[in-house]
A and B are shown apart, each in its own frame.
Chain A
Amino acid sequence: MAATPPDSAGLDLVLAVRASAAASSGGAEHEPEVLAIFDQLRGPLLRYALAIGLRIPEAEDIVQEVFLALFRHTRLGRPRDNLRGWVFRVAHNLALKHREAARREVQRGAGSPEMPSSEPAHPGPGPEEQLAHSERHARLRAVLRALPEQDRQCLYLRAEGLRYREIAGVLGMSLGAVSLSLTRSLARMRRADGG
C-alpha cells in the first residue's frame, strides 16, 4: 500500500460531527456553494475514483459522502482556501479505505453467495485496464500498469488539473516527490512510445 494516511478522512468526518454540535449557524446558505462545487468537481472526482480502481456505484457513493462532508466543512466555517485539494483528499482517503475494506471482505471469506469467489475484489477497471483502443493506447496501458501506484495517482490527479501542491497534500508527499514522480512517469511513457 502507498504510504498515505488512510484514516484522515474518517477523522475529519468525526471531527465535523463533533464540532457541528457546537456551531450555531444554519447552513442553508452553503448549499448552493456545495452544489456549485459538485457541478464542477463531480466528473473529475468520479474519473479519479474509477481510475484508481473503484466501480461506478462505489465511486458515486464516495462522491456523495465527499460532498456531505464538504457541506459540514463549510458550514463550520473551516478553511476554504483550497477546497478542490480538500475535496480530492477526502475522496482519495475514502476510496482507499473502501478498497481496503473490499480486500478484507474478500479475504474474510467467499461466504457470500452473491460474490463469485473466482472474481477478484477489483479487477482494476482503471484506464490501465481498458485503454486498448489502439496499439499506442495498449502500450500506454502497459506502462501505466507497471508504474508504482503512487506515480499513477500523481498522474491522474495532475490530469484532473491539480497543482503540485494540491497533489502533495492529497497523497501526503513532498512537492519535490510529486515533481519527480510526474517526470519519471512521463519519461517512461515516452520511452515506451519511442521503442
Chain B
Amino acid sequence: MEIRDQHPSDEEMLAYADGELPSRRAATVRAHLGACWACRGRIAEIEGGIREFLEAYRTELDGRLPPAAGPRALLKAQLKALPKPGTFGMGPRLAAGLCAAALSIFGALLLSRPARLSGDAVAVPKASLTPGDTLPLTRTGVCQMPGNQLAELVPVSVRQTVLRRYGIENARPDAYEIDYLITPGLGGSGDVRNLWPEPYTNTVWNAHVKDALENRLHDLVCGGTLDLGTAQRELATDWISAYKKYFHTTTPIAR
C-alpha cells in the first residue's frame, strides 16, 4: 500500500534524512522520493541548508578552540587528585573540591572581562580563583617526598590558563611566575585552583619571600611542631600574614 501521491511534510523529510523515522514510514518516504522529483529537490534544499549552517557554525567556532593538550593534562591531574571512594577523609575533601569548583566557575566569570590588575594586586592571589587545592597526602608522605618533586614546573598550557583566568593577556614570559598557593612540598596540587600569577617585580612580598615561608612551614611540619592541614591553611588563607606570624616580623627578612 504505497502513498505515492502524498508528499511528505518538511518535518518528515528532515526526520527521514536524519534517520529518525520509524522504519516502515521511512520505507514509504524512500519510495516516494524515488518517484517524485519535486520532493527530491526539496530534500536537496534541506540538505543544502544543513550544509551551509554547519559550515558557518564550524568555521566560526573551530578557530576559537584552544588546543586540547593543556585542558587534557589538567583533567588528568584532577582525576588523579580525586580521593578514592571509601577512603578516609574523602567526604569533606570532595565537598571542598565542589566548593572550589563553584568558586572557580564564579571566578572565571569575574575574569571574563579583562581585569586590569597591577603587579602588586596579585601579590596575594584572589580567593575566588585560587582558593588552594591539595593532594590527599599525609604528613609522612609530604616529608618523605624527594626534593626534586618540590619544584615541579608548571606546563606552558597550564600557565596560559592561569594567566587567562586572571585576565592577564600578552604577559611577558618573565613578568610573572606561576606559583603554587600551597606549595607541592606541603601537598599542594597542580590544579589551576592552586596556581596564581605572582609578579616578579614591583612587590616586596615576592616569590622568594614566599619560598622562605614555605621552607619554614615544611620544617615545622616535618619537625612535628605544626599540623600539615594548618600549614596548608596558612598558605591558602593569607600567606603574607602567615609570614609575619612565623618570622615574627612585619617586613620580609632580607636574604
The contact of A179 among B11, B46, B167, by CB within 8 Å, is: B11
Instruction: Take A64-B74, A155-B53 as given contacts and tell me if A114 and B82 are in contact as well, using a CB distance cutoff of 8 Å.
Output: no
CB-nearest residue of chain A relative to B74?
Answer: A64
- Segment of B84-92, B182-190, B226-234 engaged in the interface with chain A: B84-92
Is there contact, CB below 8 Å, between B79 and A56? Answer: no
Interface residues of B in 93-141 (CB under 8 A from A): 94-95, 97-98, 101, 104-106, 108-113, 115-117
Interface residues of B in 37-82 (CB under 8 A from A): 45-46, 49-50, 52-54, 56-62, 64-66, 68, 71-72, 74-76, 78-80, 82
Is there contact, CB below 8 Å, between B61 and A47? Answer: yes
The contact of A71 among B18, B52, B82, by CB within 8 Å, is: B82
CB-nearest residue of chain B relative to A187?
Answer: B10
A89–B201 alpha-carbon span in the complex (Å):
45
Instruction: Take A35-B72, A64-B71 as given contacts and tell me if A114 and B167 are in contact as well, using a CB distance cutoff of 8 Å.
Output: yes
Is there contact, CB below 8 Å, between A186 and B79? Answer: no
A155–B72 alpha-carbon span in the complex (Å):
27
The contact of B75 among A51, A64, A183, A193, by CB within 8 Å, is: A64
Minimum CB–CB distance from B238 to chain A (whole Å) comes to 21
Is there contact, CB below 8 Å, between A140 and B53? Answer: yes
Chain A: interface residue total (CB-CB under 8 A): 71
Is there contact, CB below 8 Å, between A64 and B78? Answer: yes
Is there contact, CB below 8 Å, between A105 and B109? Answer: yes
Is there contact, CB below 8 Å, between B105 and A51? Answer: no
Across-interface contacts of B95 in A (CB, < 8 A) = 17
Across-interface contacts of A24 in B (CB, < 8 A) = 85-86
Interface residues of A in 42-60 (CB under 8 A from B): 42-43, 46-47, 50-51, 55-58, 60
Is there contact, CB below 8 Å, between A58 and B18? Answer: no
Q: Mark A172-195, 1 if CB is under 8 A from B, else 0.
A: 000000011011001101100100
Across-interface contacts of B72 in A (CB, < 8 A) = 35, 38-39, 42
Can you spell out 23 A-B residue pairs with CB atoms less than 8 angstroms apart? Answer: A17-B94, A23-B85, A39-B72, A42-B68, A43-B65, A64-B71, A68-B79, A72-B82, A98-B109, A101-B106, A114-B111, A122-B112, A131-B56, A131-B59, A133-B60, A136-B52, A140-B53, A159-B58, A164-B20, A179-B20, A182-B14, A182-B18, A190-B49
Seen from chain A, the residues whose Cβ lies within 8 Å of a Cβ on chain B are 13-14, 17, 20-27, 31, 34-35, 38-39, 42-43, 46-47, 50-51, 55-58, 60-65, 67-68, 71-72, 75, 94, 98, 101-102, 105, 112, 114-116, 119, 122, 127, 130-131, 133, 136-137, 140-141, 155-156, 158-159, 163-164, 179-180, 182-183, 186-187, 189-190, 193
Q: Which 8 A-B pairs have the closest CB atoms?
A: A114-B115, A23-B85, A183-B11, A47-B61, A127-B60, A20-B85, A55-B112, A57-B108
